[in-house]
């Protein structure tokens, strides 16, 4: 097969490598999705009457065989993943293998492969996120009752608890999980049938093909089906950036609170490395790398958005170089989630240092509230009175924590933990149901090549 990059005036050299870019490994990652989409397309061509049932069965069986022996890289002499798949079918089946391209363009082929990839990645990342959220809640269950100083501006502010601190990470991740179904819905439409962006002059019944792949339907706009890739990639990577931003705060706090100066936690040996020059040093490399990797995910999300920004409607080759950045962002986010889920249980607490942080001045706000409640003072007047007491060295009374609360503030912390746990539980169920549904659709694609 002649490659589409070949021209009479530029027979080779720089141009193929420049056009191919990182496609050899990127398209190999997308091949499983290309195979599934191709199987669905075989069903469509059979329904159209251009493939006989025996031919369709041969193609389906060949696609299933190919799916069990996919390469890690597309050969350098092959243009892209779509070309590789067509060449492989032709090698196995002869001219029958080449008939599968009828009614498709590489534009909608790549678009559907990416939609399938993003949909699968969204569910897998959501599952990782649930596991991490549960790890945070397990830490809160085990150690959340410990009180310590809460900080604003990196200065001690009010009494807090480890439960409150843990919720600062567990709850934002739960909120990110709550956003998952809406993002999933936007991805769960098939671009197949859009062709190069203007539809296909065949009665392919694209809606039925979409349902075979587990999509809820087709993209209503054929131009956007192939030209809107960057928008969905940006939505997805910014969702990853949101959860990465939460984890960056977590690692920042750990880097601070595990120092000798604070001493609230000691990281386990699994989280530290030694120094090449200083025998006594134990560097928190996992913590610092977690912080850096979180920032890298945020940066990649910005890059994905920038690469697809400012283009007119329809397909443009610019979209090719968003693929590797998209896949790297997903890989790095999932690795970060997997590592972070092991961190909370790898921390040793030092309750005496936590208790030492509760200096009397932290109770100033509560003392002001007491003056309001007991003496009927306006808050500003009570505020100034407490300020004067502090300046005069008058000790402030400590309020007992509300019954059932692990700390002298936020009596609703138990409810907050329960609400976070509810979201994690419901989202796990939703992810499992959707994954089961999609897996069933994928199995049915290969069960009968004549249906």
- Those residues whose C-beta lies under 8 Å from the C-beta of residue 76, and which sit 6 or more positions away, are 20, 24
- In this predicted structure, what is the pLDDT of residue 408? 46
Q: How confident is the model at residue 1 (pLDDT cuts 50, 70, 90)?
A: very low
Q: For 387-406, what is the mean pLDDT?
A: 69
CATH architecture designation of domain 118-357+415-447: Up-down Bundle (1.20)
* Residue 183 pLDDT > 50: yes
Q: For 243-251, what is the mean pLDDT?
A: 98
Least confident of 2-6, 248-252, 271-275, 339-343: 2-6
pLDDT digits (tens, 9 = 90+) for 122-149: 999 999 999 999 999 999 999 999 999 9
Least confident of 178-182, 276-280, 319-323, 422-426: 276-280
CB-CB contact of 326 with 115 (8 Å): no
Using CA atoms, how far apart are residues 282 and 145, in angstroms rounded to an integer?
A: 28
Tell me the whole-structure pTM to 2 decimals.
0.91
- In this predicted structure, what is the pLDDT of residue 403? 44
- In this predicted structure, what is the pLDDT of residue 419? 96
- When the pLDDT of each residue in the chain is averaged and rounded to a whole number, the result is 90
Q: Domain ranges in the chain?
A: 14-101, 118-357+415-447, 361-411
Least confident of 57-66, 227-236, 369-378, 442-451: 442-451
CB-CB contact of 425 with 174 (8 Å): no
Q: Which of 311, 186, 310, 292 is nearest to 239 (CA)?
A: 186
Phi first, then psi, for residue 147 (nearest 5°) are -90, 150
Q: Which of 41, 13, 28 is nearest to 103 (CA)?
A: 41
Fold of 14-101: Fumarase C; Chain B, domain 1 (1.10.275)
* Residue 241 pLDDT > 50: yes
- In this predicted structure, what is the pLDDT of residue 347? 96
Residue-wise DSSP of 24-63: HHHHHHHHHHHHHHHHHHHHHHHHHTSS-HHHHHHHHHHH
pLDDT digits (tens, 9 = 90+) for 85-120: 999 999 999 999 999 989 999 899 999 999 999 999
* Residue 406 pLDDT > 50: no
* Residue 390 pLDDT > 90: no
- In this predicted structure, what is the pLDDT of residue 111? 95
CB-CB contact of 67 with 88 (8 Å): no
Tell me if domain 14-101 and domain 118-357+415-447 are identical in fold.
no
Q: For 222-232, what is the mean pLDDT?
A: 92
Q: How confident is the model at residue 395 (pLDDT cuts 50, 70, 90)?
A: confident
Using CA atoms, how far apart are residues 324 and 420, in angstroms rounded to an integer?
A: 34
């Amino acid at each position: 097969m002649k490659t589409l990059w070949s021209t009479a005036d530029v027979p080779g050299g720089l141009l193929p490598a420049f056009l191919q870019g990182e496609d050899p490994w990127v398209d190999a990652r997308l091949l499983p999705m290309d195979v599934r989409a191709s199987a669905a397309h075989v069903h469509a061509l059979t329904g159209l009457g251009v493939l006989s049932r025996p031919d369709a069965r041969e193609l389906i069986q060949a696609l299933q065989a190919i799916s069990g022996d996919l390469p890690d890289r597309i050969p350098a002499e092959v243009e892209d993943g779509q070309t590789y798949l067509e060449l492989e079918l032709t090698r196995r089946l002869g001219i029958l293998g080449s008939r599968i391209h009828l009614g498709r363009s590489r534009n909608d082929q790549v678009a559907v492969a990416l939609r399938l990839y993003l949909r699968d990645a969204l569910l897998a990342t959501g599952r990782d996120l649930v596991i991490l959220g549960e790890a945070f809640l397990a830490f809160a269950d085990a150690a959340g009752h410990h009180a310590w100083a809460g900080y604003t501006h990196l200065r001690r502010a009010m009494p807090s608890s480890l439960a409150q601190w843990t919720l600062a990470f567990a709850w934002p991740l739960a909120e990110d999980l709550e956003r998952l179904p809406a993002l999933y819905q936007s991805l769960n439409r098939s671009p197949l049938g859009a062709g190069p962006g203007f539809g296909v002059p065949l009665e392919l019944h694209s809606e039925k093909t979409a349902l075979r792949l587990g999509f809820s339907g087709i993209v209503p706009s054929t131009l956007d089906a192939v030209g809107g890739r960057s928008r969905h990639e940006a939505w997805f990577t910014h969702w990853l950036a949101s959860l990465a931003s939460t984890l960056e705060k977590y690692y920042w706090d750990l880097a601070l609170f595990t120092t000798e100066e604070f001493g609230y936690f000691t990281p386990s040996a699994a989280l530290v490395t030694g120094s090449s020059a200083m025998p006594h040093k134990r560097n928190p490399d996992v913590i610092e790398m977690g912080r850096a990797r979180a920032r890298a995910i945020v940066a990649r999300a910005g890059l994905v958005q920038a690469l697809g920004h400012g283009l007119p409607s329809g397909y443009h080759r610019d979209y090719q170089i968003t693929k590797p950045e998209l896949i790297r962002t997903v890989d790095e986010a999932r690795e970060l989630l997997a590592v972070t889920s092991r961190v909370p249980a790898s921390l040793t607490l030092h309750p005496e240092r936590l208790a030492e942080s509760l200096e009397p001045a932290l109770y100033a706000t509560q003392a002001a509230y007491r003056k309001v409640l007991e003496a009927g003072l306006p808050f500003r007047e009570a505020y100034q009175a407490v300020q004067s007491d502090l300046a005069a060295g008058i000790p402030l009374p400590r309020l007992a924590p509300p019954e059932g609360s692990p700390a002298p503030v936020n009596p609703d912390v138990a409810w907050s933990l329960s609400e976070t746990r509810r979201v994690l539980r419901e989202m796990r169920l939703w992810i499992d149901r959707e994954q089961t549904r999609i897996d069933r659709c994928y199995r049915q694609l290969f069960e009968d090549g004549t249906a």
